[in-house]
Amino acid sequence: MTMPFARRDFLLATTLFLAVPRLAVAADRFAKSPWRKLTDSDWKKRLPPESYEVLRHEDTERAGSSPLLGEHRKGTFVCLGCGLPLFKSAWKFESGTGWPSFYTAIPGSFGTKVDHLLAIETRTEYHCAQCLGHQGHIFNDGPKPTGLRYCNNGVALKFVPA
């Protein structure tokens, strides 16, 4: 009597085991992106030096240095590395931090990870979902309606006017 249940449990466990890797890959719609196949050398050739350091090595541009701080036209901010749309210009706000800031992002455009680089705080770092290029950090001190501040390196973005 217990034998059919044991077999059913075994088949269910085997099915789940085999399905999990497929589910994980399916959840990442950019898993097979050609942008992820570029080597570090390829990126270095494609990007300006400061953009390369930020996007590929998680550097931070000098505060106040981005021309995008003054960009107020209608349009879309895209990843400089691969062109994936990240933010609508209507979501940009003046944070006074010296980096372009947005209170929300286009759904599915980012992956996040915990950043422990600063000993005094734990931050949430975000990367372009398509090319994995570092963009910036998310803070909980932004305006309504989200209360978030996506603090982005300007050299990691390109503005596309509407």
| DSSP H or E stretch at residue 130 | none
Element (H, E) at 147: none
Which of 79, 128, 131, 151 is labelled catalytic?
151
Got the DSSP string for 110-162?
EEEEEE--STT--EEEEEETTT--EEEEEES---TTT--EEEE-GGGEEEEE-
What is the rounded distance in angstroms from the CA atom of residue 106 to the CA atom of residue 13? 37
- Which tokens go with 47? 């990007």
For CA atoms 94, 95, 99, 105, the dihedral sign is: negative
For residue 82, indicate whether it is catalytic. no
What is the radius of gyration, based on Cα positions, of the chain?
A: 20
Q: Which residues are catalytic?
A: 151
